[in-house]
Structure 1
Amino acid sequence: MPEPILIKEFHFLAGCISLVGLVIAFAAQKGSKLHIMGGKSFVVTMLILTSSGLWMSISREVLFTVFLSLTSFHALLTGWSAAAKNGIARAVTKYSAGSSALITGGGIWGGQYTANTPNGLLNGLPAGAFYFIAGIAALLMLFDLIYANTRSPSKVMRITRHLWRMGFSSFLATSIFFFGNNHVLPEALRTPLVLSAPVIGVIVLTAFYTMRVLFFSFSTPYKHETD
């Protein structure tokens, strides 16, 4: 599959905007116009980021990042659907376990394929790397099944799912970019501190706001969820 000339530039730009949108969505009052604006910009740019990342992974024949991109895309959509109230969101929730099951199966297949290569490596990675991503997808599938079969999820349950899945999606995408595709950055910025800071920042923000809602939900009122 050919790689469009400008796809790396769009990928980089989408990644930068998505990080800004994530910070705004986390920091703004939940349910406010600023929160919704930041959240929508995050979702749109993350869709571009994960789609372009998937395209580049396929065109470069890097199977591991194919599965990472698919996992990030899955976490993004299921996180969005937990806060949205429309038919598409309900359909995403209903079929989410099927999606994560496919990624799980793909990861297992990737591990078996890699184990059978002459040197036991694929793109420099051992079979265990693929089994690891399969395990993550299996855990997502378990949570998908629980959530989809909960008759009336509480607000705390929905918002917690919304927050950690959005953050997890961003964590995967930023990890792929800053640790695997950072060649588009100026050489002066390709230092361990600069490359790890956005990834660590996403982890800290996601953990803080998820725990805040999970254990101190009275201090984080939501006026309404997104449509």
Structure 2
Amino acid sequence: MKTLLVTLHITGGSLAILVGMVALFLKKGSKLHNNLGRIFYYSMLVMAASAVYMSIENHEQTNIVVSLLVIYLVTTARKTLTNKKGVIGNFEKLALVYALIIVVVGIFLIVEIMDLRGNNLEPIDYFLFFYTFIALLGAILDTVVLINGKIVGSRRIVRHLWRMVFALWIAVGSLFLGQPQVFPQVLQDNPMTLASPFLLVTVTLLFWLVRVWFIKRFKHVKY
């Protein structure tokens, strides 16, 4: 069972990173971009779902939260893209509940770590705080969407973009920065080489957010 989960996790993650990096530089809304987006979506679900089980089994606090978060991000990003009319329904309400559950889980694990930390038994992983905050940010933005009663125009595209690309950011960072030992020694000896894909995704995410959000002509783009 463990071997199967590891295989699914590695296969899903590798495929997601590959197609996700390609999709970043394709024309948004094109047929190829949309097809690769679907592959990215399902690959990320496979990677994250297998990671949830393994993280719980190994009691890896940060990985539990980040795996649940990735599922939330790609699912809501995908739904936002397919919801062309921007109508708010039960899915968005359930997404808010799910995000709040992640926040609660994150806080519970933070408290647990702090208790153990008091006895010098557990190091603090600040990424657990960070990913719990991202889940809280998602919940806040979901609440705003529910209050507004719709999500259209540039807001809809931004919602799709930041969630999908941030999920890719997590995957790329987890591989290139979190697992450097899987790469040849020559790459491990040059940290900037391994950091390059991570920095590229970061810059691209900021570029598209600024372009879509601040350039008026994108406010009426239909995807």
- The alignment's TM-score, normalised by the length of structure 2, stands at 0.84
Q: 1:41 to 1:99 in 2, by over 3 A?
A: same
Give the root-mean-square deviation of aligned CA atoms: 2.6
Identity %: 26
Q: 1:40 to 1:66 in 2, by over 3 A?
A: same
Offset of residue 131 of structure 1: 3.7
Alignment of 1:26-65 (within 5 A): 26-65=24-63
Offset of residue 21 of structure 1: 2.2
Does structure 1 conserve the Cα–Cα contact (< 8 Å) formed by 2:81 and 2:160?
yes
Matched, 1:158 2:156: yes
Question: Any unmatched runs of 5+ in structure 1?
Answer: none
Q: 1:148 to 1:133 in 2, by over 3 A?
A: same
Offset of residue 80 of structure 1: 1.2
Does structure 2 conserve the Cα–Cα contact (< 8 Å) formed by 1:24 and 1:34?
no
Please give the per-residue CA displacement for 1:17-59, whole angstroms capped at 9, x wherever unaligned: 2223223433222222112112111111111121222233223
Map of 2:104 onto structure 1: 105
What secondary structure, in the 3-state scheme, does the structure 2 residue paired with 1:125 have? coil
Q: 1:27 to 1:222 in 2, by over 3 A?
A: farther
Alignment of 1:115-134 (within 5 A): 115-117=114-116, 119-122=119-122, 124-125=123-124, 129-134=127-132
Alpha-carbon separation, structure 1, partners of 2:166 and 2:138: 11
Map of 2:77 onto structure 1: 79
Question: Any unmatched runs of 5+ in structure 2?
Answer: none
Alpha-carbon separation, structure 2, partners of 1:189 and 1:23: 19
Please give the per-residue CA displacement for 1:146-178, whole angstroms capped at 9, x wherever unaligned: 123322322211011000110111112222233
Does structure 2 conserve the Cα–Cα contact (< 8 Å) formed by 1:54 and 1:66?
yes
- The alignment's TM-score, normalised by the length of structure 1, stands at 0.83
Offset of residue 184 of structure 1: 3.5
Q: Which has the higher contact order (CA 8 A, sep 6+)?
A: 1
Alpha-carbon separation, structure 2, partners of 1:74 and 1:94: 13
Please give the per-residue CA displacement for 1:97-151, whole angstroms capped at 9, x wherever unaligned: 11111111111111111111153553x325x554443322212210111123322
Task: State how many pairs are aligned.
Answer: 218
Does structure 1 conserve the Cα–Cα contact (< 8 Å) formed by 2:61 and 2:128?
no
What secondary structure, in the 3-state scheme, does the structure 1 residue paired with 2:148 have? coil
Alignment of 1:1-227 (within 5 A): 3=2, 5-85=3-83, 90-117=89-116, 119-122=119-122, 124-125=123-124, 129-190=127-188, 191-216=190-215, 218=217, 222-224=221-223
